[in-house]
Amino acid sequence: MELDARACYNRIIATCAMLISMLHGMPAEACNMQKQMLENASFKIRTSLEESTETFSHSTTSPVYGNGQGSGALPPVWVLISSVLLDEMDQSKFRLRFQDPSGTIDHDRVMVVYVDDSGMMINNFPVGEGISSIQTVAQKWEKLLFSSGGALAPRKCFFYLIEWEWDSNGKAQIRKKQALDDPLLLYAGHGFQPQPVPRKEANEGHCTLGIRLDPSITFQDETKYLQTVADRIAKRVRQNVINKMKTRVAYCAVYLPKVCYSASVASLTQEQCQQAEQRVV
């Protein structure tokens, strides 16, 4: 499940950040200095044309949150805040558990977080209670995030539910979502009306760090994307008169880096590769 935060750097509460910093060993004097700087700083807006003559500052009626984009304190402060939240999430009953074939090595986790992008994974839920189990853990993360000043980005949240079913011949396949399946609902902030979180099919890809992954490992969306990129490059080459040397430069410096970026992760079949490059090679 993807539970991405909204503008996490801009929603940091200075007092909360300094208390957590002291919890991790930062001297109280340094924390107080950072807090006073944020409370008394004066901000201007600078563009390529000029710098604004008016300024704005933090006040009780118009508070300024975060350390300001570009501040060197932002990454370590967010690491400290998210570490406290993840420590609490680690107490969750539902989680993702792995075990090696010999049964001697165990590993489990609840979430993987990269700045404001967070992925939650569980696989030990009771049969038929997948959505309710996911909802319990997801709601806990939302409340922890909200209590620290953060908020979820609803448009970036979704989930997969992988449940197996067997046909009459005993062949296993991932169960498709049904119209009558229970929705996954989350309360956000102070809201009293729960919001539905969309569910994706197991073969529906999601772009993560430049590659469109899907749980069923079909790579259908990645294949379509690579074909679109290859077709666009082929069209541009055909519309321009270039010699062999420039064509080779375009192939090596533009085409290959674009289509081979995901090759180390995507397990495309030979047919998928031929489909993607049929118009460019």
Residues of the domain holding 254: 208-277
State both tokens at 243.
């010699």
Q: Are residues 39 and 14 in the same domain?
A: yes
Q: Report pLDDT for 141.
A: 92
**Which among 126, 193, 184, 143 is positioned nearest to 160, based on CA atoms?**
184
* Domain count within the chain: 2
Residue 75, pLDDT score = 87
Cβ–Cβ < 8 Å for 144, 91: no
CA gap 106, 99 in Å, rounded? 5
Let me know whether 183 and 140 are in one domain: yes
Do 99 and 177 belong together in one domain?
A: yes
Residues 157 and 227 in one domain: no
Residues 27 and 126 in one domain: yes
* 182 φ, ψ (degrees, to nearest 5): -65, 140
DSSP H/E element including 28: helix 28-40
- For the chain, state the CA radius of gyration: 24
CB 99 within 8 A of CB 106: yes
Q: Which amino acid is at 130?
A: G
Q: How far is CA 246 from CA 74, 211, 231, 234, 261, in A?
A: 44, 28, 18, 14, 22
Together in a domain, 132 and 259: no
Angle at the Cα of 57 from the Cα atoms of 53 and 60, rounded to 5 degrees: 145
Do 236 and 173 share a structural domain? no
Kindly report the pTM of this predicted structure: 0.79
Query: Taking the alpha carbons of 208, 213, 215, 220 in that order, is the dihedral positive or negative?
Result: positive
Q: Return the structure tokens found at 199.
A: 């569910």
Residues 94 and 230 in one domain: no
Examine the fold and report which residue of 200, 225, 255 is the final residue of a domain before the chain moves on.
Answer: 200
109 forms beta bridges with 96
The predicted structure's pLDDT at residue 179: 64
pLDDT along the chain (281 residues), means of 10: 86 87 91 86 86 86 79 86 91 86 88 86 77 90 91 88 85 78 86 88 86 88 90 84 84 87 86 82 67
> Of 184, 200, 216, which one is at a domain's C-terminal end?
200
Q: In which element (H, E) is residue 78 found?
A: helix 74-89
Predicted local distance difference test score (pLDDT) of residue 142: 93
Write down the pLDDT at residue 180. 57
Hey, how many other C-beta atoms are within 10 angstroms of the C-beta on 48?
4
Number of Cα atoms under 13 Å in the Cβ half of residue 147: 11
Cα–Cα distances (Å) from 281 to 202, 220, 233, 238, 278, in that order, read 31, 21, 11, 12, 6
Q: 141 with 37, same domain?
A: yes
